[in-house]
Amino acid sequence: MLQNGLLYTGGEDRNITAWDIKTGKIAYCLEEAHTARVKGIVALTESDGATGDDDPYLVASASSDGIIRVWDVRMAAREKPLTEHNTRSRLTCLAGSSLKWLGTSSALGQNGAVSTLVLLESRQKMKLF
């Protein structure tokens, strides 16, 4: 997932790594972000992206451990998620979207049979439902 000059990756090592695309070097790494492989990463934004003025700082990750976590990348050294939701199901992918009219961002985790929708109030950083 590419956002604002950073490419976010995750995988078998359970880490979330942010790569600087200009230098090809690691900007930072959230080590052991999950207890199982990272299956999806998405930037959560407040706008629809049409104006290009959005500076996303929330990154969501999903894992085979069944947990969707949201990270504030401005606090990468803290290495603790801002919030998380346990779906109690092995996740296989993650998608994100802006809900500009609500001022929220959403993360949708998919396990193949059932979807889990987590809405986040991105200004106050709290889970709505």
CA nearest to 71, candidates 19, 122, 14, 20 = 122
Mapped onto helix, strand or coil, the DSSP state of residue 99 is strand
Question: Does the pLDDT of residue 4 top 70, yes or no?
Answer: yes
Cα–Cα distance measured from residue 99 to residue 27, given in angstroms and rounded to the nearest whole number? 29
Q: Where are the domains of the chain?
A: 37-127
Is 3 within 8 Å of 56 (Cβ atoms)?
A: yes
* Selected residue with higher pLDDT from 38 and 115: 38
Residue-wise pLDDT tens digits, 70-103: 888 777 666 788 778 787 777 666 766 654 544 5
Residue-wise pLDDT tens digits, 37-79: 998 888 776 555 554 545 567 788 888 888 888 888 777 666 7
Work out the number of other CB atoms within 10 angstroms of the CB of residue 20. Answer: 13
How confident is the model at residue 73, as a pLDDT? 78
Q: What is the pTM of this model?
A: 0.69
Mapped onto helix, strand or coil, the DSSP state of residue 73 is helix
* Residues 85, 37, 89, 94, Cα dihedral to 10°: 60
